[in-house]
Copies of this chain bind each other. A is one copy, B any other.
């Protein structure tokens, strides 16, 4: 059946798979010391235009968020996220499992508004009981957001500036980083990120890999102490680190990561146009590979006979916000089939 459910329902990109095949018979060091992990780190440094980065490969978004947040925060510190943030809702309490509160601010189409952040700190600073509350230590953003929206260069710069002035770590969750950076609406590249936050990650699972996320600490002198042991303590250390090393080595060879992310964006534009022509109301305007439309429930049932997509949430008693996702693997044929179904 036609499937627009997620960007992680395919196998690996052929070039990623090919690299796994070609390297399979070579013995290697383990726990991150294999040659391919080293190469991949080098290539990421090049594309980020900095040698001052410290890079680690982990396996899955929740694991990465939990490990990085726990590593950057002191035991008693909390992380600030919008209420639609992945860590706030869809990680089954993984952040709290390490003892850290997630403080939530209102989501604006998935984004954090710096005015809300300022207001939070104004109230915090003026709260006579602030020492009785969880102490904020980090701001967590997703790029693109869980709703497919993007921060502008200026928005990130401003938030980072605020973070620095308050000694907060700025962490950017890039589970779909490629899809954000390749959007026409994005006004910066990956090199910008390394100068405008403390740590971010480059999602591989949703962009061509079988698994793997590359954590990038933007200043290698500020990597949390004992981060290797912290990874291990979080059960996030792969013995056969070649698995992630080889995949990221392939993804960052010849711009593959960005090229295949671009495919999802191109297909999403067509998808958007089809959904529009089909007369669906958009829940919000997403410039990336996730599109959210409000569909009457009867129509949902009918459509589900031919296409797989996600019920995001009940918009009201009569209609549902549904998500359609393209990916690096979405083909023109799939788009054309959807067009036929929706615009017949």
Measured in the bound complex, the distance between the Cα atoms of B313 and A290 in whole Å is 40
A29 at interface, CB cutoff 8 A: yes
Contact B128 A92 (CB under 8 A): no
Given A90-B133, A96-B101, A230-B76, answer yes or no on A235-B314 (Cβ-Cβ < 8 Å): no
**This protein's copies in its complex:** 4
Contact B211 A123 (CB under 8 A): no
Interface size class of A (residues with CB under 8 A): 35 or more
Measured in the bound complex, the distance between the Cα atoms of B311 and A206 in whole Å is 40
Given A74-B225, A240-B211, A313-B127, answer yes or no on A232-B94 (Cβ-Cβ < 8 Å): yes
A221 at interface, CB cutoff 8 A: no
Which of A's residues lie within 8 Å of B, judged by CB? 3, 6, 8-12, 14, 17, 20-21, 23-30, 59-67, 70-71, 73-76, 78, 89-94, 96-102, 123, 126-129, 131-135, 205-206, 210-211, 225-226, 228-230, 232-240, 242-243, 310-311, 313-314
Measured in the bound complex, the distance between the Cα atoms of B243 and A40 in whole Å is 21
Closest chain B residue to A100 by CB distance? B96
Partner of A99, one of B8, B29, B99, B132: B99
Closest chain B residue to A94 by CB distance? B233
